[in-house]
Chains A and B, each alone.
Chain A
Amino acid sequence: MAEVKLIGTSQSLNCIRIEWALKLKGVEYELIEEDLLNKSPLLLKYNPVHKKVPVLLHHGKPIAESHVILEYIDETWKNNPLLPEDPYERSMARFWAKFSDEKCIFGVYEAAWLEEGEEKQKAIQSAQELLAILEMQIEGKKYFGGEVIGFLDLVVGWIPRWLNAMEEVGSIKLLDAERFPSLHEWSQNFIANPVIKECIPPQEKLVNYFNFGISYRRSLAVAKP
């Protein structure tokens, strides 16, 4: 039996997506919980370049960066494929995954952490424009992967709970069911899946996590306008 370990934290969206992938493939693994404020020698040894989670250890060999890990998992355990077979469809899934991680999450975070005012309103509008783009991608489909959960669903999987938590802490409402019916429905379907539900952190934990992060971010803005 292959030995699989995951160095991660239970509230990091980048780590949970790896747990989802492993569970969807029925891969047994050991989760090694990391304290990011006091990084372990293990993490520093296995990800000396970025010193970040998640890090997957397979047969003792480390793999870092969540998209890289997801593709590795998909190539190593071929049951329940996450990425489409067709190269063009694969490139599209990867493109939207990059878009979600590089634009959407930061757009939402920006709208959340900014204090009330014109800038916050602009950020809210931008974030909703980004969500509108994702809405177009999910329209007419049950999941981004089609009939079953796939790579892009796992990458966009921050929406059901992490986005909610950011909305609560930032006192904003972005994922409006009326404006984004398909994304909203996808979100409900996704989180209802037993494998997904099993790993998702409770709302309060994420609210605490973002409260801490956003307060700190706001304090930096005050110190250095």
Chain B
Amino acid sequence: MAGEVVLLNFWPSTFGLRVRIALAEKGIKYEYKEEDLSNKSPLLLEMNPIIKQIPVLIHNGKPVCESLLIVQYIDEVWNDKSPLLPSDPCQRAQARFWADFVDKKVYVASRKVWRPKREEQEEGKKEFLETLKTMEGELGDKPYFGGETFGYVDVSFIPFYSWFHAYKVLDNINIEAECPKIDAWAKRCLQKETVAKNFPDKKKVYEFVAQTRKKYVSA
């Protein structure tokens, strides 16, 4: 179960953050390696030759790629504490469905906010907020998506909160006002040490996002 654990990551990545939180939830010690995505290391290219992306978890020399697959792997291998997925197959299916929704809808919509033309950005914003409202509907009055305890969907979604401040300042998207339950949920998650300790500084994320956006969006 133990053995050597290495994480290849890029600090602002919401996908990498999922893995950091999952590792922390399980109390796993690991070696962290920061990647420069403009100059990918031979290790990254060797461990993820197909997609060439972070995060990559290397466990006893064997690579696991794709953030949600890594989180599931961590949950299955270190199954003695802090289960992330529920044990009931139907609830597990619901958890997988919503984590998949975060990837296929929330993330995809969030990128549309960066489209080059103004009216496309507005459309992107609208779509992004709609996906967040759908998540808000799913959360309902539960403290976490996992119910009483922090779980797989929470791990999958909370990293996106690290970018909300940037979206507010750069794109005038006020998620706190538009989706108050999501905002409250995020703040609740941030009270957990496993989340707070790994969360990047929101100002640094804002600077990074502002810099990167220049490549995609006209002034």
Selected contact of B89 from candidates A64, A76, A94, CB within 8 Å = A76
Complex Cα distance A71/B97, Å? Answer: 11
Q: Which residues of B contact A95 (CB under 8 A)?
A: 64-66, 69
Given contacts A61-B90, A68-B100, A69-B93, 9 further A-B contacts (CB under 8 A): A63-B90, A63-B93, A63-B97, A68-B97, A71-B93, A75-B89, A76-B89, A95-B65, A95-B66
CB distance from A61 to the nearest CB of B (A): 6
Q: Which of B27-76 contact A (CB under 8 A)?
A: 50-51, 59, 62, 64-66, 69-70, 72-73, 76
Q: Which residues of A contact B65 (CB under 8 A)?
A: 95
**B contacts with A, residue count (CB < 8 A):** 23
Is B64 a contact of A88 with CB atoms below 8 Å?
A: yes
Complex Cα distance A63/B97, Å? Answer: 8
Interface residue A39 (Cβ < 8 Å from any Cβ of B):
no
Is B92 a contact of A75 with CB atoms below 8 Å?
A: yes
Encoded as 1 (CB less than 8 Å from any A CB) or 0, chain B from 69 to 92 comes to: 110110011000000000001101
Complex Cα distance A94/B99, Å? Answer: 15
Complex Cα distance A71/B89, Å? Answer: 9
Interface residue A49 (Cβ < 8 Å from any Cβ of B):
yes
Given contact pairs A63-B97, A64-B97, A68-B96, A49 touches B134 in the complex (Cβ within 8 A) = yes
Interface residue B10 (Cβ < 8 Å from any Cβ of A):
no
Is B96 a contact of A65 with CB atoms below 8 Å?
A: yes
Encoded as 1 (CB less than 8 Å from any B CB) or 0, chain A from 84 to 97 comes to: 00011011001100
CB distance from B60 to the nearest CB of A (A): 9
Interface residue A122 (Cβ < 8 Å from any Cβ of B):
no
Nearest-CB residue, chain B, relative to A69 = B93
CB distance from B2 to the nearest CB of A (A): 14
Q: Which of A34-91 contact B (CB under 8 A)?
A: 49, 58, 61, 63-65, 67-69, 71-72, 75-76, 87-88, 90-91
Interface residue A23 (Cβ < 8 Å from any Cβ of B):
no
Complex Cα distance A90/B79, Å? Answer: 15
Interface residue B101 (Cβ < 8 Å from any Cβ of A):
yes
**A contacts with B, residue count (CB < 8 A):** 22
Complex Cα distance A128/B73, Å? Answer: 30
| Minimum-distance CB pairs A-B, first 8 | A75-B89, A87-B76, A72-B93, A91-B73, A68-B96, A63-B93, A91-B64, A76-B89
7 intermolecular pairs with C-beta atoms under 8 Å apart: A63-B94, A65-B96, A87-B73, A87-B77, A88-B59, A95-B64, A95-B65
CB distance from B33 to the nearest CB of A (A): 20
Chain A contacts to B: CB under 8 angstroms: 49, 58, 61, 63-65, 67-69, 71-72, 75-76, 87-88, 90-91, 94-95, 98-99, 133
Instruction: Determine which residue in A68, A91, A98 has the highest number of CB atoms from chain B within 10 A of its CB, and name it.
Output: A91
Complex Cα distance A64/B100, Å? Answer: 11
Complex Cα distance A68/B89, Å? Answer: 10
Q: Which residues of B contact A63 (CB under 8 A)?
A: 90, 93-94, 97
Nearest-CB residue, chain A, relative to B65 = A95
Complex Cα distance A37/B97, Å? Answer: 24
Complex Cα distance A110/B70, Å? Answer: 30
CB distance from B13 to the nearest CB of A (A): 18
Nearest-CB residue, chain B, relative to A72 = B93
CB distance from B173 to the nearest CB of A (A): 22
Q: Which of B103-127 contact A (CB under 8 A)?
A: none
Complex Cα distance A49/B177, Å? Answer: 23
Is B69 a contact of A94 with CB atoms below 8 Å?
A: yes
Q: Which residues of B contact A67 (CB under 8 A)?
A: 96, 100
CB distance from B70 to the nearest CB of A (A): 8
Q: Which residues of A contact B134 (CB under 8 A)?
A: 49
Complex Cα distance A69/B76, Å? Answer: 19
Is B93 a contact of A98 with CB atoms below 8 Å?
A: no
